[in-house]
Amino acid sequence: MAWNQPGQNNPWGRRPGQGGGPDLDERVKSWQRRLESLFRPGGGRGNESRSLFILLGVVALAVFILSGFFQIKAAEQGVILRFGKLVDIRQQGWGWRWPWVETVTKVNVGSVNSSEYKSRVLTSDVNLVDLRFAVQYQISDPKKYLFAVNNPESTLSEVSEMSIREVVGRSELDNVLVGKTRPEITRRAKELIQHTLDNYNTGLTITTVNLTDVQVPEAVIPSQRDANKALADQERFVKESQAYANSIIPVAQGAAARMQQDAEAYKSQVTAIAEGQTSRFLQLEQAYSQAPEVTRRRLYMDTVESVLSRAHKVLIDSKAGGSSGGNMFYLPLDKLLEKANARADGDTASVSTGRDDGNSASAQKNEPDSVTVEARGRGDR
């Protein structure tokens, strides 16, 4: 049985038509009549409808105007976009924009942002190191930061890893591990990162680069020791080779210079001897042409004197002495031999200096060491 039939109670504890105000249908119809009266001219309640419409318009206009106000803080810059196009960049303070037409993107240019990275790098002396480094940066140009690069943070990450790999790859392991040389590495890395970001027009400014941790992987420590030992052996072998070359080359150069000097001296000596002999021969020729008999006799006497001066013999002419054959002659043989030996030594020295063929020396060796004294009388000839 339905609840609205006579004799039945409704679910709200009251009967239809009794107290409690109008039902839901009447309320909906009342609001519908009011809306129709707003748009129907000449209505009985026109003034009331017109006032309500004006009130709603004022409220909507106030909401529209108030929604366009914005505030830029001291560490921010506001980028105004109108339908996605850059219109203006606002500084600190209050401003107004066209709602639903213009948008404001606030960029914090005063705060310092930090990003940490981890990378495994190979040094110049073939050693692997695990690096942890941090890069602090600021946004210096909001226009470039928002529109020049698609993802500035990702670009910064790739550029930072690339730069630290290049800088550490040009350094040795000891320089990376020692704290005194790290500032130089971080300075070079900062300059390279900033230069690359400026070429990309990212609008970022690098403030500091810090190497927070440097570790050598345990798995590669034995291999690195072998590599370091090989490099040490290579350096030692190179130094030994250089020392050997430094000791051999000067000796060889000195020997070559000495040989050249000996050759030049021999050349000069042979040339001088040849020229002297030529000059002497020409003089003899000239003298012979003027006095043939005298020159011939003089040459004969010089030759005999030269031969007999090297001979170990003493000739005694008894007739020239003016005494009989039974007399005994006293001769200072020791003095004569010393004089003859002195002449022989001088001739031998001159011949050896002039690079003679050794015939004179061999002739002296073939001569007897004893001294023969020959006595000739008048009838010995």
124 and 151 belong to one structural domain:
yes
The CB density around residue 314, as the number of other CB atoms within 10 Å, is 17
Distance of alpha carbon 157 from alpha carbon 196, whole angstroms: 12
359 and 334 belong to one structural domain:
yes
Burial of residue 327, with CB atoms counted within 10 A of its CB: 0-12 exposed, 13-18 middle, 19 or more buried: exposed
What pLDDT, on the 0 to 100 scale, is given for residue 149?
87
97 and 165 belong to one structural domain:
no
Distance of alpha carbon 318 from alpha carbon 372, whole angstroms: 16
Q: Does pLDDT of 342 surpass 50?
A: yes
Kindly report which listed range (77-86, 244-253, 261-270) carries the lowest average pLDDT score: 77-86
Domain count across the chain: 3
104 and 135 belong to one structural domain:
no
- For residue 293, being part of any structural domain is answered with no
Domain boundary among 108, 137, 169: 108
- For residue 280, being part of any structural domain is answered with no
Q: Does pLDDT of 322 surpass 80?
A: no
Mean pLDDT for the stretch of residues 19-48: 61
Quick one: which H or E segment has residue 377? none
State the Cα torsion 89-91-96-102 to the nearest 10°.
Answer: 20
165 and 79 belong to one structural domain:
no
365 and 309 belong to one structural domain:
yes
HSE, side-chain direction, 13 A CA sphere, residue 312: 15
Band (pLDDT 50/70/90 cuts) for residue 334 is low
Q: What is the pLDDT of residues 63-105, one digit of tens each?
A: 878 777 888 888 888 888 888 788 888 887 888 887 888 788 8
Confirm if 333 and 371 have CB atoms less than 8 A apart.
Answer: yes
Band (pLDDT 50/70/90 cuts) for residue 48 is low
Whole-number mean pLDDT of the chain? Answer: 76
% of the chain residues with pLDDT over 90: 17
Maximum mean pLDDT: which of 13-27, 262-276, 286-300: 262-276
Domain boundary among 188, 216, 244: 216
Pick from 217, 192, 197: nearest CA to 118: 217
Burial of residue 134, with CB atoms counted within 10 A of its CB: 0-12 exposed, 13-18 middle, 19 or more buried: middle
Domain region containing 120: 113-216
Confirm if 138 and 109 have CB atoms less than 8 A apart.
Answer: yes
- For residue 5, being part of any structural domain is answered with no
190 and 127 belong to one structural domain:
yes
Distance of alpha carbon 185 from alpha carbon 209, whole angstroms: 9
With vertex at residue 132, the alpha carbon angle to CA 131 and CA 134, rounded to the nearest 5 degrees, is: 135
Distance of alpha carbon 189 from alpha carbon 162, whole angstroms: 9
The CB density around residue 46, as the number of other CB atoms within 10 Å, is 13
Pick from 240, 145, 238, 267: nearest CA to 198: 145
- For residue 260, being part of any structural domain is answered with no
Maximum mean pLDDT: which of 4-13, 304-313, 335-344: 304-313
Q: What is the CATH number of the domain that holds 158?
A: 3.30.479.30
- For residue 179, being part of any structural domain is answered with yes
- For residue 7, being part of any structural domain is answered with no
Inter-axis angle of helices 152-169 and 182-200, nearest 10: 140
With vertex at residue 79, the alpha carbon angle to CA 75 and CA 81, rounded to the nearest 5 degrees, is: 160
Q: Does pLDDT of 330 surpass 80?
A: no
DSSP characters over 176-189: HHSTTTHHHHHHHH
Distance of alpha carbon 209 from alpha carbon 26, whole angstroms: 75
What pLDDT, on the 0 to 100 scale, is given for residue 192?
93
SS3 315: strand
Pick from 91, 77, 167: nearest CA to 129: 167
Token match 């060491």: residue? 369
99 and 158 belong to one structural domain:
no
313 and 352 belong to one structural domain:
yes
Mean pLDDT for the stretch of residues 30-41: 62
Phi and psi at residue 93, in whole multiples of 5°? 130, -175
Q: What is the pLDDT of residues 110-166, one digit of tens each?
A: 888 898 988 888 888 777 888 899 999 999 888 888 888 888 889 999 999 999 999
What pLDDT, on the 0 to 100 scale, is given for residue 366?
41
Inter-axis angle of helices 221-290 and 292-309, nearest 10: 130
Band (pLDDT 50/70/90 cuts) for residue 364 is very low
Q: Sign of dihedral through CA atoms 303, 305, 310, 314?
A: positive
CA distances from residue 260 to 263, 274, 315 in whole angstroms, order as listed: 5, 21, 49
- For residue 244, being part of any structural domain is answered with no
What pLDDT, on the 0 to 100 scale, is given for residue 329?
60
331 and 368 belong to one structural domain:
yes
Domain boundary among 192, 216, 240: 216
Maximum mean pLDDT: which of 46-60, 63-77, 247-261: 247-261
Q: Sign of dihedral through CA atoms 184, 185, 190, 192?
A: positive
Q: Does pLDDT of 193 surpass 80?
A: yes
Q: Are strands 313-317 and 372-376 parallel, antiparallel or unpaired?
A: parallel
- For residue 123, being part of any structural domain is answered with yes
The CB density around residue 139, as the number of other CB atoms within 10 Å, is 22
